[in-house]
Amino acid sequence: MSPRTEQQFEDIRREKVEHIKLCALQLFAENGYDTTPISKIAKVAGISKGLIYNYFSSKEELLKEILISGLKNFISFLKIEEIDRIKREEIIAFVDGNLNLLKQNTDYYKLYFSLVMQPKTVQLLENEMRDVFGQIFEKFIHYFEQQGEDQPYVKARYLLAIFDGIGIHYIIDPERFPLDEIQEILITKI
């Protein structure tokens, strides 16, 4: 048996990291971060408690990595960087994307919303969140300016608030919340 190559080790690491993050995300979303012990994550992931600490220096670090991954996914999925001419179609695509993401990544949003109110989380992600939401926010403002709205700042804030309102309500009651219909209304209004 020849020793494993560096590549093999890296593969193992990456897979395990993803697996742990996924299990943890589900549990955090379902039961809350503080009320989910590491031991439970380990059990669900089918590994030992100790191994988690091979990959994440602490429970908080694990949380942070999950949240940051979610943000990155958000950015790449919505192609936020690429929206530069801020046309109507792009905004609509963004709205669509946002709500589609909500359907696909319910767990992430659940975690996100349950933590976003706590100062600890905000500190944890301060820079990352400022970056992402700052960008989106500016694009919305520009869009409303272009549209000739009189209070572009207010409108942008309002629209972002509506997104989160929809997000929360969908997450609380995904079965019955009429996401598709509301999506249409929202797009119509824009």
Residues that bind DNA in the complex, under the rule CB under 7 A: 1-4, 6, 8-9, 12-13, 16, 35-39, 47-51, 53-54, 57-60
Residue 105 interacts with its own copies (CB under 8 A): yes or no: no
Residue 175 interacts with its own copies (CB under 8 A): yes or no: no
Q: Give the single-character DSSP code of 82.
A: G
C-alpha 172: how far from chain center: 16
CA distance 102 to 185: 17
If the CB atoms of residues 13 and 120 are measured against its own copies, the closer one turns out to be 120
CB of 102 to its own copies, least distance (A): 12
CB of 3 to DNA, least distance (A): 3
* Under 8 Å between Cβ of 136 and 160: yes
CA distance 104 to 109: 10
CB of 172 to DNA, least distance (A): 24
Residue 117 interacts with its own copies (CB under 8 A): yes or no: yes
Residue 15 interacts with its own copies (CB under 8 A): yes or no: no
CB atoms within 10 A of CB 115: 20
If the CB atoms of residues 18 and 180 are measured against its own copies, the closer one turns out to be 180
Residue 72 interacts with its own copies (CB under 8 A): yes or no: no
CB of 82 to its own copies, least distance (A): 26
CB of 63 to its own copies, least distance (A): 13
Angstrom CA distances, 23 to 4, 7, 17, 42, 108, stand at 27, 24, 10, 9, 11
Structure tokens at 177: 């919340």
| Helix or strand holding residue 102 (H, E) | helix 88-104
CA distance 19 to 45: 7
R_g of the chain computed on alpha carbons:
19
Residue 120 interacts with its own copies (CB under 8 A): yes or no: yes
Residue 110 interacts with its own copies (CB under 8 A): yes or no: yes
Binding site residues, its own copies, CB under 8 A: 30-32, 34-35, 110, 113-120, 122, 151, 153-155, 157-158, 160-169, 171-172, 177-178, 181-182, 185
